[in-house]
C-alpha cells in the first residue's frame, strides 16, 4: 500500500519535465534564430560598409584622374601664396569642391566647373544599391621646377583628396569618407646609360658587342669608382642586341615586347649577360613630359658660322696666335662648323646654335658646365642637326659628363662618330641618334632611338641621378598617404 501511495504522489512529473524540455528547446531555438539574424545583419552591415568604401574609392580615383589629366596648369601661379600649406589664394586654402557644404576657392572658373561636373553626387553602378560619391581637393603644396631641356618653369602639385560616399538601401544608410594625398615629384632625367622614347622595335639597336656599367664622377674618375651595376639600358619600345658578346651590368628594361612589328621578347636576341631583365611594364622614366617644340632654342640664326673663316665677326670668338686654336665664349651662333683643322675651346656657359658640324676638328671643354642648345632649324645633310665625324673629337678635359651637355628638342638626326672617349650627356628625346664611335661613352644618353654600330662601352655616371641636380623633369603622380573612416 505504501508503494502504491508513492506512485500516486509522482503523478504529473512527466508533464512537468516535458514542459521544461519544451521550454529549453524553445529558448534554444529562439537563441539560434536571434544569433542567425544577428549574423545576417552583421554580414549585411559589413557588405554595405565595403560597398560604401568602394564608392568612396571610386570618387577618389575619379578625382585623382581629373587632377592629373584634366586640370589645366595654373595660368598665373603668382596668384597663389606658396609659402603656406595648404597653398592659399585670396587668403584662404586653395580648394576645388564638389561636396555640398564645402566651399571652393580656385581662380579658374572653368576648371572648377569641370571638377564639379565630374565629382558632384555621382552614382556608382553595379552595386545593387543606391550609392553615390562627391569629392573635394585641397592644394597643399605647389613646387616650382625648371624642366630640363626646356628652360620652362612648371609647378608640381600635391593634392589632398577627400571623397565622401553615401549608400542607402531603404533599410540602412552608410557614409564613408576617404582621404588620400597624391604628389607629383621631379626626377633626374638621366637614370640609365641609354634611354630611348620611341615605342617601336629596335628603339635601341646595338649592332656590335656592348658593355655597360657605372661609376660616380663626384667620387673621382672612372678607375676609382666603377662598379658592375646600374649600367641600365631602357627603351619605351624594344631593345635589339646583334652582337654575340654583350655584357650589360644593369637592367634591360623594355615597355612591351611587340611594337610596330615582331620583337624578340622585348629585348635581347643573343649573348647578353647582366643582372636583370624586365619586359613586364614601363620603366618609371617613360612617362616624362619630353619637350618636342624646340621653341626655347629657335633664336639661333640659320646662317653658317665657320669659325675658321668668321671668327673675327663674333665678339665671343678669339684666335690664339697664328694657329687654328680658337676660344669660343658662350653665346648664340648659327650653323657652327670649322672648315679647317680647328681646335675649338669651349667655356662654362650656354651655347645656342642652329646646328653642329665638325668633321676634322677637336672640340675641347676646358671648364664647365658647358651646355650646347641645338635649335635644328633647316638641318644639315641627311636631316642631321648634329654631326661629329670620325676625324673629330669631343674632348671634355674635366672628365665630368655633366660639364658637357648637348640638348636638342627637335626631330633631326644626331650622328656621332667621334674619335675619342666622350664624357658627356645627350638629351634629345625626339631625335634619332646614330653612333659609330669605337670609343667609350661616360655619362648618359636620352634619344628617340639609338643605333650604335660599333663595339663600345657605356659607363653610366651615377651622379647624374642626384635629385638635387638641375637635370629634372616631372614624374608621374604617386599616392603618399591614405586613410578612411565612417562619418
Domain boundaries, the chain: 44-189+474-486, 194-237+283-465
What is the rounded CA–CA span in Å between residue 434 and residue 425? 15
| Start-to-end CA span in the chain (Å) | 79
Residue with cell string 646595338: 206
Residue 27, pLDDT score: 75
Q: Specify which residues 174 forms β-bridges with.
A: 167
Residue 242, pLDDT score: 82
Q: Is 135 left (phi over 0), alpha (psi -120 to 50) or beta?
A: beta
* Angle separating helix axes 13-65 and 109-119, nearest 10 degrees: 150
What is the rounded CA–CA span in Å between residue 397 and residue 416? 18
Residue with cell string 611594337: 259
DSSP calls for 308-368: HHHGGG-TTEEE-TTSSEEEE-SEE-SEEE-SSS-EEEE-SEEEEESEEEESS-EEEE-SS
Quick: pLDDT tens for 419-475. Answer: 899 999 999 999 999 999 889 999 999 999 999 988 899 999 999 988 667 788 898
Q: Kind and range of the H or E element at 115?
A: helix 109-119
Q: Name which of 164, 211, 266, 223 is nearest 487 in CA terms.
A: 164
Q: Answer yes or no: are the C-beta atoms of 404 and 424 closer than 8 Å.
A: yes
pTM for the whole structure: 0.76
In the predicted model, residues of the chain with pLDDT beneath 50 are: 258-261, 265-298
Residue 351, pLDDT score: 93
Residue 276, pLDDT score: 44
Residue 75, pLDDT score: 81
Q: Kind and range of the H or E element at 194?
A: strand 194-196
**The three cell numbers locating residue 133:** 560619391
What's the order of all strands across the beta sheet hosting 317-319?
Answer: 317-319, 325-328, 343-346, 362-365, 393-396
- Enumerate residues 6+ apart whose C-beta is below 8 A from 43: none
- Classify residue 369 by burial, with Cβ atoms within 10 Å: 0-12, 13-18, 19+: middle
Residue 213, pLDDT score: 95
Q: Answer yes or no: are the C-beta atoms of 354 and 302 closer than 8 Å.
A: yes
Amino acid at each position: 500500500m505504501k508503494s502504491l501511495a508513492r506512485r500516486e504522489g509522482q503523478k504529473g512529473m512527466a508533464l512537468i519535465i516535458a514542459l521544461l524540455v519544451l521550454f529549453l528547446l524553445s529558448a534554444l531555438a529562439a537563441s539560434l534564430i536571434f544569433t542567425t539574424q544577428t549574423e545576417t545583419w552583421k554580414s549585411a552591415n559589413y557588405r554595405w560598409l565595403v560597398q560604401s568604401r568602394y564608392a568612396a574609392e571610386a570618387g577618389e580615383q575619379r578625382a585623382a584622374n581629373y587632377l592629373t589629366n584634366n586640370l589645366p596648369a595654373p595660368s598665373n601661379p603668382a596668384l597663389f601664396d606658396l609659402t603656406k600649406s595648404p597653398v592659399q589664394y585670396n587668403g584662404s586654402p586653395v580648394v576645388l569642391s564638389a561636396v555640398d557644404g564645402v566651399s571652393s576657392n580656385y581662380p579658374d572658373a572653368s576648371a572648377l566647373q569641370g571638377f564639379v561636373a565630374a565629382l558632384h553626387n555621382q552614382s556608382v553602378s553595379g552595386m545593387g544599391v543606391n550609392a553615390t560619391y562627391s569629392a573635394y581637393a585641397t592644394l597643399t603644396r605647389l613646387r616650382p621646377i625648371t624642366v630640363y631641356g626646356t628652360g620652362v618653369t612648371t609647378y608640381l602639385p600635391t593634392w589632398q583628396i577627400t571623397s565622401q560616399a553615401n549608400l542607402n538601401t531603404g533599410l540602412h544608410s552608410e557614409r564613408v569618407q576617404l582621404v588620400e594625398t597624391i604628389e607629383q615629384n621631379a626626377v633626374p632625367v638621366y637614370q640609365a646609360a641609354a634611354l630611348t622614347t620611341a615605342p617601336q622595335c629596335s628603339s635601341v639597336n646595338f649592332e656590335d658587342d656592348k658593355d655597360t656599367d657605372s661609376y660616380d664622377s663626384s667620387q673621382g674618375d672612372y678607375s676609382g669608382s666603377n662598379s658592375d651595376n646600374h649600367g641600365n639600358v631602357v627603351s619605351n619600345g624594344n631593345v635589339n642586341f646583334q652582337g654575340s658578346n654583350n655584357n650589360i651590368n644593369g637592367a634591360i628594361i623594355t615597355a612591351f615586347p611587340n611594337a610596330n612589328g615582331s620583337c624578340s621578347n622585348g629585348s635581347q636576341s643573343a649573348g647578353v649577360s647582366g643582372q636583370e631583365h624586365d619586359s613586364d611594364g614601363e620603366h618609371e622614366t617613360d612617362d616624362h613630359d619630353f619637350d618636342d617644340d624646340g621653341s626655347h632654342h629657335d633664336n639661333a640664326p640659320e646662317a653658317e658660322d665657320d669659325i675658321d673663316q668668321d671668327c673675327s665677326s663674333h665678339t665671343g670668338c678669339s684666335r690664339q696666335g697664328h694657329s687654328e686654336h680658337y676660344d669660343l665664349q658662350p653665346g648664340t651662333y648659327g650653323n657652327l662648323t670649322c672648315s679647317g683643322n680647328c681646335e675649338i675651346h669651349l667655356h662654362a656657359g650656354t651655347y645656342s646654335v642652329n646646328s653642329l658640324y665638325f668633321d676634322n676638328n677637336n672640340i675641347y671643354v676646358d671648364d664647365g658646365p658647358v651646355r650646347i642648345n641645338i635649335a635644328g632649324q633647316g638641318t644639315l645633310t641627311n636631316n642631321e642637326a648634329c654631326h661629329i665625324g670620325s676625324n673629330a673629337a669631343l674632348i671634355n678635359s674635366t672628365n665630368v659628363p655633366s660639364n658637357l651637355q648637348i640638348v636638342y628638342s627637335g626631330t633631326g638626326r644626331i650622328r656621332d662618330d667621334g674619335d675619342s672617349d666622350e664624357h658627356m650627356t645627350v638629351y634629345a628625346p625626339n631625335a634619332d641618334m646614330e653612333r659609330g664611335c669605337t670609343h667609350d661613352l661616360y655619362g648618359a644618353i636620352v634619344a628617340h632611338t639609338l643605333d650604335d654600330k660599333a663595339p663600345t662601352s657605356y659607363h653610366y655616371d651615377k651622379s647624374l641621378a642626384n635629385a638635387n641636380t638641375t637635370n629634372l623633369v616631372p614624374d608621374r603622380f604617386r599616392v603618399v598617404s591614405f586613410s578612411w573612416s565612417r562619418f
